[in-house]
């Protein structure tokens, strides 16, 4: 269904610093690239906030009827410590400290990343390329940049010449920074003497004897610069120009600025039409970050095994918490905020579950079409999930009024009401209808205990107790199934 023809989506473009009408390069099709994780450790909740927002973007574009190619990369090489030009590769350092192969580190944390996103109900991207899977293409792009006069080789390393590029283009077009100011504010660092200018960034680094991850190239055995992989992979899978590029606000400079310079040097065209950046998640009043130790892991929230929260919370509640703030605003994480979100989430899900019990009436006391329109207006306004959620709670109020026989809907309105509410709650926001907060296996243990007690009751021919256990579990949404191998259960 081509809903995009009836809905004019507006997107805040970090490039223009204003909201713009979204017009894809090819009608009906969207190309979107989002910078993925560097897989040297577990992704913390601040990282997940960014990916969660772009999961919403992806879901809504699909809902509008666009055919979307969503590319999210895995950085498994070339990302040096502190995002610097010198130092040790983050993955190689982890491998050295743990005395394992770098690809063991990559595999461990890629699997963890995927498990986290699965637990939090993310849709997988269309393509998930890796940096190490595109070394050949990165070398070819470096050759092209050198041939065009915007890069130079020194002692086996290759650097992008920012000042040469800036003579005709604008290095700083995304971040608003000026090369002259960057020069003034840059201190001299050890190991940067090979560069013509401190602002120049690495396209290829010669590996010293300690560097485990290395590949042969025309310049040296080494590894690609961190910024290069995204230019290569976005171009390969989405073309020289594509619609949306996303990531955290911390990537705007230098990472995304460097991407623009590399891509435009090779193609001569603007690589991305809409740049979108999410703001940070804070904890204890400070940015959530691995480098400072001020973070919480997504799975620690589900298990309750942490020193920050009073108890465990479900993945759907955490999604709901994240979506109550605009993606461009700072969101503060706390136990109190999650508890408040849990109450709101519970009210919403209780209302949604009651939908199937509502019977149609001859008249409607609620203007469903106007309400539907307001939901789309909210999402069309730069994916404004907080406003959308406020409209969803208008629906909750109506459902509660119907419960009390103070409101009614005709069959036609009821159908549209149900379909729209379910679409926005589950298909677009990606919330989960969890009657039980089955987070850490504790619920499983309780149900297994009840199954054991029921088995004992049946062996003692206490059919009343056996049936009571079964019927009360059904009321809680837990269905028992007796078979030759014993009794199993499923959660509805």
Going by their DSSP bridges, the two strands 29-34 and 242-248 should be labelled as: parallel
Beta bridge partners of 483: 486
How far apart (Å, rounded) are the C-alpha atoms in residues 61 and 51?
Answer: 15
CA 122 to CA 319: how far, in whole Å? 10
What backbone phi and psi angles, to 5 degrees, belong to 294? -95, 80
d(CA 491, CA 479): 6
SS3 label, residue 310: coil
Q: 3-class DSSP state for residue 91?
A: helix
pLDDT of 187: 43
For residues 409-429, one letter each, b for 16 or more C-beta atoms within 10 angstroms of the residue's C-beta and e for the rest, the string is beeebbebbbebbeebbbebb
CA 452 to CA 466: how far, in whole Å? 10
pLDDT per residue rounded down to tens, the chain (492 residues):
899 999 999 999 999 999 999 999 999 999 999 999 999 999 999 999 999 999 999 999 999 999 999 999 999 987 777 666 777 788 988 888 898 899 999 999 999 999 999 999 999 999 999 999 999 999 999 999 999 999 999 999 999 999 999 999 999 999 999 887 776 444 444 444 689 999 999 999 999 888 889 999 999 999 999 999 999 999 999 999 999 999 999 999 999 999 999 999 999 999 999 999 999 999 988 999 887 889 999 999 999 999 999 999 999 999 999 999 999 999 999 999 999 999 999 999 999 999 999 999 999 999 999 999 999 999 999 999 999 999 999 999 999 999 999 999 999 999 999 999 999 999 999 999 875 444 445 677 788 889 989 988 888 988 888 888 888 888 777 878 786 557 877 665
Q: Give the Cα separation of 23 and 287 in Å (integer).
A: 34
Question: What pLDDT score does 438 carry?
Answer: 46
**Per-residue confidence (pLDDT) for residue 440, from 0 to 100:** 42
Distance of alpha carbon 216 from alpha carbon 150, whole angstroms? 22
**pTM of full prediction above 0.75:** yes
CB-CB contact of 203 with 96 (8 Å): no
What pLDDT does 211 receive?
A: 82
Q: Where are the domains of the chain?
A: 3-281, 313-428, 442-491
In degrees rounded to 5, what are phi and psi of residue 191? Answer: 85, 0
Question: What's the pLDDT at 120?
Answer: 97
* Closest C-alpha among 348, 163, 337 to residue 261: 163
Sheet-wide strand order for 331-333: 286-287, 281-283, 331-333
- Outline where DSSP puts E strands in 225-352: 242-248, 272-278, 281-283, 286-287, 331-333
| Contact call for residues 41 and 109 (beta carbons, < 8 A) | yes
What is the arrangement of strands in the sheet containing 242-248, beginning at the earlier edge strand?
Answer: 67-72, 29-34, 242-248, 272-278
Hunting for tokens 């940015």 — which residue is that? 287
Per the CB < 8 A criterion, the answer to whether 62 and 25 are in contact is no
Is residue 272 classed as helix, strand or coil in its secondary structure?
Answer: strand
DSSP state, residue 187:
P
Half-sphere exposure of 253 (CA within 13 A, CB side): 13
Which has the closest alpha carbon to 419: 63, 46, 43, 50?
63
For 467, the enclosing helix (H) or strand (E) is helix 463-475
Q: Are 332 and 469 in contact (CB under 8 A)?
A: no
pLDDT at 82: 64
Alpha-carbon distance 338 to 318, whole Å?
A: 7
Closest by CA to 12, choosing from 375, 280, 278, is: 278
Structure tokens at 107: 């595999």
Exposure b/e, 268-295, CB count within 10 A at least 16 = b: eeebbbbbbbbbbbbbeeebbbeeeebb
Q: Which residue, among 78, 76, 92, has the nearest Cα to 36 in the 3D structure?
A: 76
The C-alpha atoms of residue 22 and residue 17 are separated, in whole angstroms, by: 14
Would you put residue 410 in left (φ > 0), alpha (ψ -120 to 50) or beta?
A: beta
Per DSSP, which regions of 317-380 are E strands?
331-333
SS (HEC) of 99-148: CCCHHHHHHHHHHHHHHHHHHCCCCCCCECCECHHHHHHHHHHHHHHHHC
End-to-end CA distance of the chain: 29
The neighbouring-strand residues paired with 30 are: 68
**CATH 3.40.50.620, applies to 3-281:** yes
């Amino acid at each position: 269904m081509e809903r995009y023809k009836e809905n004019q989506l507006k997107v805040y473009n970090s490039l223009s610093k204003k909201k713009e009408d979204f017009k894809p390069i090819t009608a009906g099709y969207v190309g979107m690239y989002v910078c993925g994780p560097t897989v040297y450790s577990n992704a913390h909740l601040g990282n997940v906030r960014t990916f969660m927002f772009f999961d919403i973007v992806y879901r809504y574009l699909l809902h509008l009827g666009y055919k979307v190619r969503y590319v999210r990369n895995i950085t498994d090489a070339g990302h040096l410590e502190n995002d610097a030009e010198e130092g040790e590769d983050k993955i190689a350092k982890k491998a050295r400290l743990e005395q394992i192969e770098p690809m063991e580190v990559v595999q461990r944390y890629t699997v963890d990343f995927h498990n986290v996103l699965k637990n939090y109900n993310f849709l997988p991207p269309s393509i998930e390329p890796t940096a190490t899977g595109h070394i050949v293409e990165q070398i070819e792009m470096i050759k092209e940049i050198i041939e065009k006069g915007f890069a130079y080789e020194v002692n086996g390393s290759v650097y992008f010449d920012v000042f040469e590029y800036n003579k005709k283009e604008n290095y700083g077009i995304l971040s608003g920074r000026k090369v002259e100011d960057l020069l003034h504010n840059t201190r001299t660092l050890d190991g940067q003497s090979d560069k013509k200018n401190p602002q120049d960034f690495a396209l290829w680094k010669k590996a010293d004897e300690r560097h485990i991850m290395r590949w042969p190239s025309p310049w040296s055995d080494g590894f690609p610069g961190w910024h290069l992989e995204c230019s290569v992979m976005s171009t390969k899978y989405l073309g020289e120009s594509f619609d949306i590029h996303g990531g955290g606000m911390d990537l705007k400079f230098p990472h995304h600025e460097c991407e623009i310079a590399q891509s435009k040097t090779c193609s001569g065209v603007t690589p991305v039409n809409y740049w979108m950046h999410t703001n940070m998640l804070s904890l204890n009043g400070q940015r959530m970050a691995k480098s400072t130790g001020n973070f919480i892991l997504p799975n620690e929230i589900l298990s309750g095994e942490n020193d920050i929260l009073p108890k465990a919370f479900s993945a759907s509640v955490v999604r709901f918490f994240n979506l109550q703030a605009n993606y461009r605003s700072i969101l503060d994480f706390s136990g109190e905020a999650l508890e408040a979100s849990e109450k709101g989430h519970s009210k919403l899900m209780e209302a949604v579950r009651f939908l199937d019990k509502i019977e149609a009436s001859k008249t409607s006391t609620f203007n469903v079409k106007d309400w539907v329109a307001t939901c789309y207006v909210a999402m069309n306004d730069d994916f404004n999930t907080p406003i959308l959620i406020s409209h969803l709670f208008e629906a909750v109020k109506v459902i509660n009024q119907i419960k009390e026989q103070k409101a009614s809907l005709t069959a036609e309105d009821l159908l549209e009401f149900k379909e729209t509410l379910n679409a926005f709650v589950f298909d677009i926001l990606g919330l989960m209808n969890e009657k039980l907060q089955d987070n850490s296996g504790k619920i499983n243990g309780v149900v297994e205990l009840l199954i054991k007690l029921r088995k004992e009751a049946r062996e003692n021919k206490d059919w009343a107790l056996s049936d009571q256990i079964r019927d009360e579990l059904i009321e809680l949404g837990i269905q028992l199934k007796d078979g030759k191998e014993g009794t199993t259960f499923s959660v509805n």
